[in-house]
Amino acid sequence: MSELSVAYAKALYGIAIEKNQVDKYLREIEILEEVLDDELMKFFNTPKIDAETKKDVFVSNLKGFDIYLLNFISVIIDGKKQRYFKEIFEEFKFKAFEYLNIVLVKVYSAKPLKKVDSEKIVKGLKEKDGNKSYRIVNIIDENLIAGYKLMIDQQVIDTSLKRRISLLKEELMKEGD
């Protein structure tokens, strides 16, 4: 993460706090992350397209978004720093999650989680710490075979079949000595 991204994210976070709209900004940032795919980022990073055209594309397609957020994005485009969008948004989300007491849970699974599975995971986590909200991000890892690997902050909870097989193998190797 670059210092520039952190500085921009801190500024955006300051605006969100000042306006008492951290949750709204978080929702809008998450929408922007979904929209800003590689193809659109190529458009925004193309030097042949002037800043006004780039800003017009943003503003015309983001009706209903907070005006301060749109102005913030315009400042980034004017400064030719749009290549940092994703880093800025990641850092902002980190600050917003902390402020809103939301814990990001990365769930690695062999196939996409069903809604019921996500709900079970959240329910289990809330039983341990009901004072927090949890946001599930599902990451597909076809190497897992079955089960889940959860990453919460720096803690890893691995209930995957791959991990269980690995533990069984270690146990059998010890017995063979």
Percent of the chain with pLDDT over 90: 23
Amino acid at 72: F
Average pLDDT over residues 151-170: 69
Q: Which residues in the chain are classed under CATH 1.10.520.20? A: 3-98
Q: How far apart are CA 74 and CA 28, in angstroms?
A: 15
Options 3.40.50.2000, 3.30.56.10, 1.10.10.10, 1.10.520.20; which CATH number does 3-98 get?
1.10.520.20
Contact call for residues 146 and 117 (beta carbons, < 8 A): no
What is the side-by-side order of every strand in the sheet holding 102-109? 133-140, 102-109, 148-152, 155-158
Amino acid at 147: G
Residue 54 predicted with pLDDT over 70: yes
pLDDT number for residue 129:
75
Residue 47 predicted with pLDDT over 80: yes
Residue 154 predicted with pLDDT over 80: no
**CA distances (Å), 78 to each of 55, 81, 122, 156, in order?**
9, 8, 41, 41
Query: Which residue intervals of the chain are DSSP H helices?
Result: 3-18, 22-35, 38-45, 51-61, 67-78, 85-99, 115-128, 161-176
Reported pTM? 0.71
Residue 155 predicted with pLDDT over 70: yes
**Using 50, 70 and 90 to split pLDDT, how confident is the model at 88?**
very high
